[in-house]
Amino acid sequence: MTARHDTVFLLDVDNTLLDNDRVVADLHAHLKHEFGVVPAGRYWAHFEALRSELGYADYLGALQRWRLDAEPLPGDEMPLLKMSEFLIDYPFADRLYPQALDVVRRLNASGPTVILTDGDVVFQPRKIQRSGLWDAVAGRVLIYIHKEQMLGAVQRHFPARHYVMVDDKMRILAAMKGVMQGRLTTVFPRQGHYALEYALDAAALAAYPPADIAIERIGELLDIDLRDLRDNRAPQETP
């Protein structure tokens, strides 16, 4: 029987521990350089269509659809065949936010840290492995299509008295809080484009209750009293 922990820390990946906006920017630049603006635009059209269908980002699936596009790519197909290499071998460790691994180590000293993220079953695990996050959490990785709908499974895998969820998407935090209530502390790092869009969206601000704790960057978790996270209370300001 799995032991019940006092606190389990659940950590998102993209734009929470890892600057995925920079990864996407690099992919944009690479596609334009290798294939031109118009063909690159077709890739992103397939990408967005797949994300609407699946509910998560599928970079490799979009690549396959792009290859089957009715309008052929100009010139040699060899650069297209090497696109998967660009994605699979991308240096994700270089895109971790400053102090991200330090945060994981600090939280892990107080309770198990678990990567809880959405994504496909090939590219997302590869990203987590190559970034160093897989080893940092000792393989405690859960990847779903809609993680906020999988809280029962999360709790079966990692039973605990209390949970802490760190995520850059207020929609996810609000959904999880609605289910787990006082057993969950939500932490909102204001990083990445989702957090910026939320801050500028009056409807979203009205629709979602604020997170229990908001921070400007993931590294701030190095300075927060972890009792504030375990006890579901806002951190005290230093006088």
Give residue-wise pLDDT tens across range 17-43. Answer: 999 999 999 999 999 988 889 888 999
Number of CB atoms found within 10 A of residue 70's CB: 5
pLDDT, residue 5, reads 87
- Total residue length of the chain: 239
Q: Which H or E run includes 151?
A: helix 151-157
pLDDT, residue 4, reads 82
Tens digits of residue pLDDT in 101-114: 999 999 999 999 99
What's the mean pLDDT when you consider all of the chain? 88
Q: Where are the domains of the chain?
A: 5-19+96-230, 21-88
Fold of 21-88: GTP Cyclohydrolase I; Chain A, domain 1 (1.10.286)
Residue with token string 């921070």: 215
pLDDT, residue 70, reads 55
Question: Do 5-19+96-230 and 21-88 agree at the fold level?
Answer: no
pLDDT, residue 13, reads 97
pLDDT, residue 145, reads 92
Q: Which residues neighbour 33 within 8 Å (Cβ) at sequence distance 6 or greater?
A: none
Positions of the chain with pLDDT lower than 50, given as ranges: 1, 237-239
Q: How is residue 112 written in tokens?
A: 């198990």
Q: Which residues neighbour 200 within 8 Å (Cβ) at sequence distance 6 or greater?
A: none
Cα dihedral sign, 80-82-88-90:
negative
User: For residues 143 and 56, is the Cβ–Cβ distance under 8 A?
Assistant: no
State the CATH architecture for 5-19+96-230.
3-Layer(aba) Sandwich (3.40)
